Amino acid sequence: MNERSNTILKIVNEVLEESGRSPVCELLDTQHLKVDLDFDSLDLAVLTVKIEAETGIDVFADGIVETVGQICAKLER
């Protein structure tokens, strides 16, 4: 797992724990934020703010992001 993946995992787990849910051990590029991780619109907003604070990149700036892989792709640009 590379540094970006570790960052995303850490942030996803922060969002999950802040909303009273259990953290996950790993993330797959194919995981959907809403379907697989059960994120709602508030979770997505918090995720966006945390990712931007950590990386300086707004992953939702140019459209909706639905999967972990899409987040990774935007962070790699």
Share of the chain above pLDDT 70, in %: 99
Q: Domain 3-76: what homologous superfamily?
A: ACP-like (1.10.1200.10)
Looking at residue 48, its amino acid is T
41-64 residue pLDDT tens: 999 999 999 999 999 999 999 888
Q: Are 24 and 12 in contact (CB under 8 A)?
A: yes
Buried b (16+ CB within 10 A) or exposed e, 14-24: ebbeeeeeeee
Phi/psi of residue 52, nearest 5 degrees = -65, -40
Q: What is residue 15's DSSP assignment?
A: H
Share of the chain above pLDDT 90, in %: 84
Q: What is residue 56's DSSP assignment?
A: S
